[in-house]
Structure 1
Amino acid sequence: MLRLDGDRPARLQTQGTGNVVRIEGDRPVQFQNSTFHNVAGNMNVSHTTNVGESGLDILLRAVSLDAMHDSAERPADPACHPGTRSAILEELDKWSFEQPSDSPILWLHGCAGIGKSAIAQQFAASCHDRGQLGGSFFFKRGSVSRGTWRNLLPTLAYQLTVAFPQLGPRIQRAVETDRLVLGKTIHHQLEKLLVQPFRNAPPLASRPILVIDGLDECEDRGTQTALIRALIDVLRSGDAPLHILVCSRSEPHLLELFQAPDNSEVCRGLEIRPDDAADSDIGRYLTEEFSQIRLIHTSRGTMLEDDWPGENSIQNMVYKSSGTFIYASTILRYIDDEYSHPAERLEAVLRLDPASLTPLDDLYTQVLSSIPNKPTLLRVLHAVVETRRLDPEEIDLVLRMRRGTSHAILRGLHALVRVHPVRTIRYHIPVELLHASFGDFLMDSQRSLSFCISGEDLLDTLVHDMAHVLLSGSLGPDDLW
């Protein structure tokens, strides 16, 4: 219920977003993001943009800042360790300079954890330094701003206006002539934001490069397919002189699309495979990172031999990595724990079954086994994976646990999840899984066994807890979903 001047009640029927500050008689009043009409006490909102708002202002509201490669809104995905992945990065650099390109879309693909995001991060940074980067977008499964395609094209278009000023006025004008463009289809947004601005544009210093990482983490398969088909159609027409790097897992539906004979004139695939070069890179990465761990921990008074962890231990971990960086990076985060002796943690890792066909799952299980109070651990992880919206304080509230419980539980999982410091002001930063494969592991009972969180009992309990917190008014629906 909204009360107008003189405490006169009125119904507010919202069909958009906006902020009501005051009401003047029965005439329409313009507020930020909305136009409200007061007619006989009934309020109706009819617009979602201001008449005087610029196209860039409209775009800016839809930008996902934390999806950019250089955003300070999120801890950046690590770039490639110095001296590693040189062959792949050289291949990407070569493709980026092709003018014109026979393959304007390059699909970089491979299995989970092989280092696609690190390569994309490194390549985007290099393109930015050379003045080639038009924009970047790093998808993240379940994220409000990075988990769907809705913010993708506005984010890329806004970055293009900054990187290539010749396109800025044209992109701005395209939005101003169609102020509802951001609510329309993929094809319509592509035409308005990435095709129309190039028509009759002055020559650019270089062909803009767009980097789209984690396509397989974008909502559902249908959306992924529709997005790539739309990009193929645009680049096949030649109306948008762009290079687009797309990175994802080698999912069957994407293999079928990218490798279709009809798309070969536009798309080229580059698969990252576990090989001797990857093993060499992982060995170098482990050796240099363990050197840093040894240096830091000995400075704290921890006794470690000068040659720790030893060449045999390094080779053991390289072998178990099977060409994927995720195993190596998870080991390093697990061992580099300020409250544990790194030698003891390394010994625990080396004791894992050397003949196992699932070394990453074994490592996940080892990390989880080190956390006491297993029932609470499973409840907390279930809330993290199912909602993907809650920070530790909110998890405590929803699960009706003593404040600080989630922080205490998750502190021991720093190898697998990212938890931001305790907030001193109301600033919502959800708990993040460091890699999507950990969420897959937790939901698959054949992989996670007693650590599986996909059971009905946990779900029923979480739904009951959510209903309780909603009825209490402590959190709203937007906080939970």
Structure 2
Amino acid sequence: MLGWKLLLQHAAPNALHDSGARFDPPKCDDDTRVEVIGEIMGWIQDRDPPQRCLCLTGAAGAGKSALQQTIAERCAEKNVLASAFFFSTADFTRNIVAPIIPTIAYQLSRINPLLRYCIVAAIEDDPLVFSKSLRAQIESLITRPLLQYQEKSGADLRDIPRAILIDGLDECANEDHQAELLTAIKDGFLNESLPFRLFIASRPEWAIRTALAAGGCFHGVAYQIQLSDKYDATADIRRFLWRKLLDIGARSSDPQAQPPFWPTLQDLEILVRAASGQFIYAATVIRFVSERRGSPVNRLNTILNWTSGNNQRSNPFAPLDLLYANILSKAKEAYDAADINGHDFLLLLNAYRLNMDRNNDHIVQDLDHLLCSEHDAHVWFLSDLRSLITTEAYPNHRASGQQLLQLRMYHKSFLDFLSDQSRSKELFFPKSEAVWKTFIGSIMQPLHGTPAMSTVDA
């Protein structure tokens, strides 16, 4: 059938939760993320939830994709998975919005032959439907075929699989397209005639933040789980590392790696602290230590003692460095394109890093001060760094009735990345230059009668 062939041509098989292209995808380890998984599955299985869209946001490496994969597999087991789509920056077949509606339509068509017939008939009636807007595609490929299926079969649409999962919205290449997709989801999938639950996971980037904010298309429509803030993963990470390291040791031929002598509790706690509550650090450690060509004891010691000055050939943090470099490069590019005052993005970022090294007095209004007192300048400076950095109320301190904010970096390893030229490479900013330029700024532009962001030791 022509319509079926066209649907397959426009879908993205690599984006499926069980795609061979995503072999051995990350997922939650046993006995981890129990509370948040329970919350999400309970919401999906609720036949009449107050909100039919859930947005999961969290820092880079917080474990969002692992949660999505776990939820997808559990939904499939319970026969409530309608569709799953995993975006990926690195895969050109699934880093754009074009294939998402056809891919969802393909997965829906596999529910039963009659629904497949209705979807294929819609394509054959309008073979150019794939060139239309996302909202029009939802109407043509999903809404109308489902209503036709209901009319022909007499079935209750609430009985069909209801969970539609979209992972990594931030990995879609174009921010405007991300926003378009969210609007289309709200207008198309969340109308009262359809039974779906939309579960969307993303770093807290511009499109999802705007959609959830007051006046955004999801405000009051979707509820949000802020993974990095609501659920402390420290205990889960400790269990994950302990179990994985014991398993690696038990399978190793190195007698030093045999339980119960390895790993030590001291080593475990060092790793847990370094993870800063983010699963990506723990997963990076396990991936490096589990390499078969070498002793796991030696490889773990490499991580525990690793510094750029040790002349070690392998960098155990290479996957982390790639993640940080990608986020930081894109943020710098966006900032440089919008900034008309010639401010140095890396200088401002590293001024904060140095100030955090010195003490905890890192107030974002000081950053506005260095940006020539532009109101809320930090908002757009940090706009593309929200998956690495957040702001929170500065305790017990107000200026002219205004609540001051302080900066918090989600990852200790990100601070390590910024301070190590061998890791950050062209994104490295020399400490001496940052200290000097920040000191000059503090002299030239005093804030509230005190030096702004001074990083010079007394």
Cα distance in 2 for partners of 1:138, 1:59 equals 18
Q: Does residue 82 of structure 1 match 2:30?
A: yes
Q: Give the conservation status (yes or no) of the 8 Å contact 2:36–2:231.
A: no
Matches within 5 A, 1:385-404: none
The residue type paired with residue 98 of structure 2 is R
Structure 1 residue 313 and structure 2 residue 267: aligned? yes
**1:44-63 CA deviation, whole Å, 9 max, x = no partner?**
xxxxxxxxx43222111122
Q: 1:215 aligns with which of 140, 164, 169?
A: 169
Which of 49, 57, 70 is 1:122 aligned to? Answer: 70
SS in 2 for 1:55: helix
Tell me how far apart the structure 2 counterparts of residues 212 and 314 of structure 1 sit (CA, whole Å).
34
> Is the Cα contact below 8 Å between 1:55 and 1:172 reproduced in 2?
yes
- Aligned partners of 2:71 and 2:31: how far apart in 1? 14
- In structure 1, distance between residues paired with 2:90 and 2:146: 33
In structure 2, what is the Cα distance between the partners aligned to 1:442 and 1:138? 23
In structure 2, the CA distance between the partners of 1:178 and 1:115, relative to structure 1 (3 Å rule), is same
Q: Which residue of 2 aligns with 1:463?
A: none
The CA deviation at 1:232 is 0.7
Q: 1:276 to 1:55 in 2, by over 3 A?
A: closer
Aligned to 2:421: 449
2:133 is the counterpart of 1:188: no
Q: Tell me the matched-pair count.
A: 334
Choose which of 171, 175, 198 in structure 1 pairs with 2:123: 175
TM-score w.r.t. length of structure 2: 0.67
* Residue 335 of structure 1: how far off its partner (Å): 1.7
Relative distance call for 1:453 and 1:54 in structure 2 (3 A) is: farther
1:303 corresponds to which residue? 256
Instruction: Give the 3-state SS of the residue equivalent to 2:242 in structure 1.
Output: helix
Which one of 284, 295, 303 corresponds to residue 341 of structure 1? 295
> Once the two structures are superposed, what CA deviation does each residue of 1:324-377 show, in whole Å capped at 9, x if it has no partner?
10000101111222233222222232235xxxxxxxxx8xx699x643xxxxxx
Query: Is 1:279–2:199 an aligned residue pair?
Result: no
Match of residue 426 from structure 1: none
Aligned match of 1:439: 326
Query: 1:436 and 1:198, CA in 2 relative to 1: closer, same or farther beyond 3 A?
Result: farther
Aligned partner letter, 2:156: P
Distance 1:163 1:313 in 2: 49
1:11 alignment partner in structure 2: none
- CA shift in 2, pair 1:250/1:216, >3 Å: same
For the 8 Å contact 2:84–2:164, the answer to whether it is kept is: yes
1:302–1:295 CA distance, 2 compared to 1 (3 A): same
The residue type paired with residue 256 of structure 2 is: M
Cα gap change, 1:454 to 1:191, in 2 (>3 Å): farther
Residue 350 of structure 1: aligned partner: 304
Give the whole-Å Cα distance in 1 for the aligned partners of 2:325 and 2:424. 11
- Greater shift, 439-448 or 85-94, is seen at 439-448
Aligned 8 A contact 1:275 1:323 in 2: no
Measured in 1, the distance between the counterparts of 2:324 and 2:8 equals 32
1:291 matched to 2:261: no
Residues 177-225 of structure 1: CA deviation (Å, up to 9, x unaligned): 1101112221211111121112242324245211100000001211111
* 1:395-422: CA deviation from partner (whole Å, max 9, x where unpaired): xxxxxxxxxxxxxxxxx679756xxxxx
Match of 1:98 in 2: 46
State the match for 1:132 in structure 2.
80
2:190–2:196 contact (8 Å) kept in structure 1: no
Computed over aligned residues only, the root mean square deviation of the Cα atoms, in angstroms, reads 2.8
One of 32, 48, 58 as aligned partner of 2:6 = 58
* Distance in 2 of aligned mates of 1:276 and 1:137: 24
Cα offset for 1:260? 2.9
Q: State the Cα distance separating 1:140 from its structure 2 match.
A: 0.5
- Cα pair distance change 1:152/1:253, threshold 3 Å: closer
TM-superposed CA distance for 1:73, in Å, is 2.5
Instruction: Give the aligned partner of residue 473 of structure 1.
Output: none
Give yes or no for the alignment of 1:330 onto 2:284. Answer: yes
1:416-464, Cα deviation, whole Å (9 max, x unpaired):
56xxxxxxxxxxxxxxx99744533688876363445658xxxxxxxxx
> 2:325 touches 2:424 (CA, 8 Å); kept in 1?
no
- Structure with bigger helix share is 2
For residue 350 of structure 1, what is the amino acid of its counterpart? L
Write out aligned runs for 1:221-260 (5 A): 221-260=175-214
* Structure 1 length-normalised TM: 0.64
Q: Matched residues in 1 for 2:422 and 2:322: separation?
A: 20
Contact 2:138 2:189 in 1 (8 A): no
Query: Relative to structure 2, which stretch is displaced further, 195-204 or 54-63?
Result: 195-204
Letter in 1 for 2:199: L
| Aligned residues of 1:70 and 1:76 also touching (Cα < 8 A) | no
Q: What's the counterpart of residue 450 of structure 2?
A: none
Partner residue, 1:263: 218
Structure 1, unmatched stretches of 5+, are: 1-52, 353-361, 372-411, 418-432, 456-481
CA distance in 2, matches of 1:277, 1:233: 34
1:108 matched to 2:80? The reply is no
Over 3 Å counting, the alpha-carbon distance change for 1:312 and 1:123 in structure 2 is same
Q: Secondary structure at the match of 1:273?
A: helix
> Shift of residue 252 of structure 1?
3.9
Q: Are 1:198 and 1:239, in contact at CA under 8 Å, matched by a contact in 2?
A: no
Amino acid at match of 1:270: I
Percent of aligned pairs with the same residue?
A: 27
> Is the 1:134–1:164 contact (alpha carbons within 8 Å) kept by the matching residues of 2?
no
Q: Secondary structure at the match of 1:123?
A: helix
Per the alignment, do residues 206 and 274 of structure 1 end up closer, same or farther by CA in structure 2, a change over 3 Å counting?
A: same
**What residue ranges of structure 2 are gaps of 5+ in the alignment?**
333-345, 351-417, 428-458
Q: Return the alpha-carbon distance in structure 1 between the equivalents of residues 45 and 299 of structure 2.
A: 46
Letter in 2 for 1:134: A
Q: From the superposition, tell whether residues 206 and 70 of structure 1 become closer, same or farther in structure 2 (CA, over 3 Å).
A: same
1:18-45 deviations in Å (ceiling 9; x for gaps): xxxxxxxxxxxxxxxxxxxxxxxxxxxx
Aligned twin of 1:68: 16
Q: Alpha-carbon deviation of 1:135? A: 0.9
Q: Quick one: distance in 1 between partners of 2:239 and 2:309? A: 24
Given that 2:53 and 2:199 are in contact with CA atoms closer than 8 Å, whether structure 1 keeps it comes out as yes
